């Protein structure tokens, strides 16, 4: 036991009227919603990087957090793991997620970094025997170190491609060993700063080959989890190749990987791409690509990926509504890819940021589930397309322009516009949220 969270007891559900700051008001893991426990709907995960590795810097100032585990030794990496699992216990979260660089010190050589990772993975594995928190996903940090400044798989330097491939292999091995449910690839610096020095055709070809190798290796080692790509439009690169859901779908189709790879969709990245979170979720679901979500909140003014903890129930309800419509998570979950504001220095801040966000998500899920179960909204949606149930209209989809044109004249087709009823549906929505 460390004493970092000294005096903070496990957070329990006390109901909406509780005045206890350290309690859940809405997140009640065992409550059954639409036939499934709330915990299994939401599948919360803590992001190791933001909570335990991020020092609190911004472009104008450095470290603000003073954590006893900051430093580059294996002993400190183990202390960090101890504190992390203590927080997982306090929150009762079922999952966590990590990058290699979050959990182990960088070695002097690739081999030393790999051994450091393996040692921490063994340390995690031992902890996971006596704690309930499992691994939602693992990933590789292919963006922080200066060697990746021009990208990883899309780097002009083949040695960086090699280093990146070797790193992903070691992170897939780690994820597999810890029985991770998914493996994530966020293309950190897979993009460009200027077209003046960039060969787009070559870089995307390399990205496609790289991803194919990841899929091959998954099958080779018998990893049963899902491979997920996390789209993002810009930052850190001016233009990121995995811009948004639609772009990644085109990329997967091009390389024949659409049946092998799904998506990890992040709230803030959707906003940066000029979409809403629910748009990205609905589109991914419609394409059969919905895998997992990175839950956070973007500042709507700043234009940065601010990775704040979610605080808006109506917004999150839209997201969980799409997830419910898609049938819920399978291997995926709700990873809090969110960090404290840099003035939030106290251990309590770390706990309450998560417990509050879990409550926001739980409340949103409950509202979305009630509306979904009521079926009025879905009935209105179905009704809007009801004409397509008629066989003569279905037949148009397999016919051609000439036959349809003949039909229009023969039957005297003359469409009568119908209301889209948007405000009525918004009123319905607001009765639930």
Residues forming the active site: 99, 102
Q: Does 280 bind Ni ion (CB under 5 A)?
A: no
* Nearest residue to 40 (alpha-carbon basis) of 134, 131, 129: 134
Which stretch of DSSP H or E encloses residue 98? strand 95-99
Task: Pick between residue 86 and residue 230 the one whose CB is nearest to ligand XLS.
Answer: 230
Considering only 86, 102, 203, 294, the residue that binds ligand XLS (CB under 6 A) is 294
Smallest gap from Cβ 307 to Ni ion, in A, equals 6
Task: Pick between residue 294 and residue 359 the one whose CB is nearest to ligand XLS.
Answer: 294
Q: Does 266 bind Ni ion (CB under 5 A)?
A: yes
Considering only 150, 337, 350, 371, the residue that binds ligand XLS (CB under 6 A) is 337
Considering only 139, 298, 334, 355, the residue that binds ligand XLS (CB under 6 A) is 139
Task: Pick between residue 278 and residue 305 the one whose CB is nearest to ligand XLS.
Answer: 305
Answer yes or no: are the C-beta atoms of 210 and 164 closer than 8 Å. Answer: yes
* Nearest residue to 360 (alpha-carbon basis) of 136, 42, 98, 90: 42
CA atoms within a 13 Å half-sphere pointing along the CA-CB vector of 121: 22
Task: Pick between residue 319 and residue 368 the one whose CB is nearest to ligand XLS.
Answer: 319
| Binding characters for ligand XLS, 227-256, by CB under 6 A (x = yes) | ---x-x------------------------
Task: Pick between residue 28 and residue 51 the one whose CB is nearest to ligand XLS.
Answer: 51
Q: Does 100 bind ligand XLS (CB under 6 A)?
A: no
173-188 core/surface letters (b: 16 or more CB in 10 A; e: else): bbbbbbebbbbbbbbb
Answer yes or no: are the C-beta atoms of 29 and 38 closer than 8 Å. Answer: yes
Which stretch of DSSP H or E encloses residue 292? strand 290-295
Q: Does 102 bind ligand XLS (CB under 6 A)?
A: no
- Interface stretch with Ni ion, choices 81-89, 195-203, 293-301, 388-396 (CB under 5 A): 293-301
Task: Pick between residue 273 and residue 313 the one whose CB is nearest to Ni ion.
Answer: 273
Please enumerate in sequence order all residues whose Cβ is within 8 A of that of 4, keeping only pairs 6 or more positions apart, or say none.
67, 68, 83, 86, 347
Q: Does 305 bind ligand XLS (CB under 6 A)?
A: yes
Smallest gap from Cβ 234 to ligand XLS, in A, equals 10
Q: CA geometry: angle at 41 spanning 37 and 42, to 5°?
A: 120
Give which of ligand XLS, Ni ion, none residue 139 binds (C-beta under 5 to 8 Å, depending on kind): ligand XLS
Estimate the crossing angle of helix 74-91 against helix 110-130, to 10 degrees.
Answer: 30
Answer yes or no: are the C-beta atoms of 100 and 167 closer than 8 Å. Answer: yes
- Interface stretch with Ni ion, choices 68-76, 135-143, 305-313, 315-323 (CB under 5 A): 305-313
| Binding characters for Ni ion, 321-340, by CB under 5 A (x = yes) | ----------------x---
- Interface stretch with Ni ion, choices 132-140, 173-181, 262-270, 346-354 (CB under 5 A): 262-270
Cα(87)–Cα(349) distance, integer angstroms: 12
* Nearest residue to 233 (alpha-carbon basis) of 271, 201, 203, 263: 271
Answer yes or no: are the C-beta atoms of 5 and 86 closer than 8 Å. Answer: yes
Cα(334)–Cα(181) distance, integer angstroms: 13
Considering only 24, 186, 217, 277, the residue that binds ligand XLS (CB under 6 A) is 186
Number of residues near Ni ion (by CB under 5 A): 4
- Interface stretch with Ni ion, choices 121-129, 159-167, 250-258, 301-309 (CB under 5 A): 301-309
Give which of ligand XLS, Ni ion, none residue 366 binds (C-beta under 5 to 8 Å, depending on kind): none
Considering only 203, 266, 322, 359, the residue that binds ligand XLS (CB under 6 A) is 266
Answer yes or no: are the C-beta atoms of 81 and 129 closer than 8 Å. Answer: no
What is the torsional sign of CA 59, 190, 333, 369?
A: positive
Which stretch of DSSP H or E encloses residue 290? strand 290-295
Instruction: Give residue number: closest CB to ligand XLS.
Output: 186
Token pair 């704040």 is found at 308
Binding site for ligand XLS (CB under 6 A): 99, 139, 184, 186, 230, 232, 266, 294, 305, 337
Binding site for Ni ion (CB under 5 A): 266, 294, 305, 337
């Amino acid at each position: 036991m460390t004493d970092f969270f000294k005096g903070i007891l496990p957070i329990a559900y006390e109901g909406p009227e509780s005045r206890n700051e350290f309690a859940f008001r809405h997140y009640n893991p065992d409550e059954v919603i639409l036939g499934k426990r709330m915990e299994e709907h939401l599948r919360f995960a803590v992001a190791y990087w933001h909570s335990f590795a991020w020092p609190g810097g911004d472009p104008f100032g450095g470290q603000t957090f003073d954590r006893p585990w900051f430093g580059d030794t294996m002993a400190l990496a183990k202390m960090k793991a101890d504190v992390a699992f203590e927080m997982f216990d306090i929150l009762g979260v079922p999952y966590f997620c990590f990058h290699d660089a979050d959990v182990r010190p960088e070695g002097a050589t690739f081999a030393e970094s790999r051994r450091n990772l393996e040692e921490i993975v063994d340390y995690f594995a031992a902890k996971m025997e006596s704690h309930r928190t499992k691994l939602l996903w693992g990933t590789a940090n292919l963006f922080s170190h200066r060697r990746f400044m021009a990208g990883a798989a899309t780097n002009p330097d083949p040695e960086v491609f090699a280093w990146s491939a070797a790193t992903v292999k070691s992170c897939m091995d780690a994820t597999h060993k810890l029985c991770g449910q998914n493996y994530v690839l966020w293309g950190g610096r897979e993009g460009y700063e200027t077209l003046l020095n960039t060969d787009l055709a070559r870089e995307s070809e390399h990205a496609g080959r790289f991803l194919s190798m990841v899929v091959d290796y998954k099958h080779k080692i018998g990893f049963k989890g899902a491979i997920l790509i996390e789209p993002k439009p810009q930052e850190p690169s001016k233009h990121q190749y995995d811009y948004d859901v639609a772009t990644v779908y085109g990329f997967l189709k091009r390389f024949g990987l659409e049946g092998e790879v799904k998506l990890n969709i992040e709230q803030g990245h959707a906003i940066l791409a000029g979409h809403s979170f629910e748009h990205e979720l609905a589109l991914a679901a419609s394409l059969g690509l919905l895998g997992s979500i990175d839950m956070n909140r973007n500042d709507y003014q700043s234009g940065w990926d601010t990775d704040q903890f979610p605080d808006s129930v109506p917004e999150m309800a839209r997201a969980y509504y799409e997830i419910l419509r898609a049938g819920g998570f399978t291997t995926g979950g709700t990873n809090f890819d969110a960090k404290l504001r840099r003035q939030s220095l106290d251990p309590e801040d770390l706990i309450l940021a998560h417990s509050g966000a879990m409550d926001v998500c739980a409340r949103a899920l409950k509202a979305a589930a009630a509306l979904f179960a009521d079926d009025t909204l879905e009935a209105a949606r179905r009704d809007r397309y009801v004409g397509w149930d008629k066989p003569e209209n279905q037949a148009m989809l397999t016919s051609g322009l000439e036959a349809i044109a003949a039909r229009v004249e023969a039957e005297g087709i003359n469409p009568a516009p119908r209301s889209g009823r948007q405000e009525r549906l918004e009123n319905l929505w607001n009765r639930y949220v």
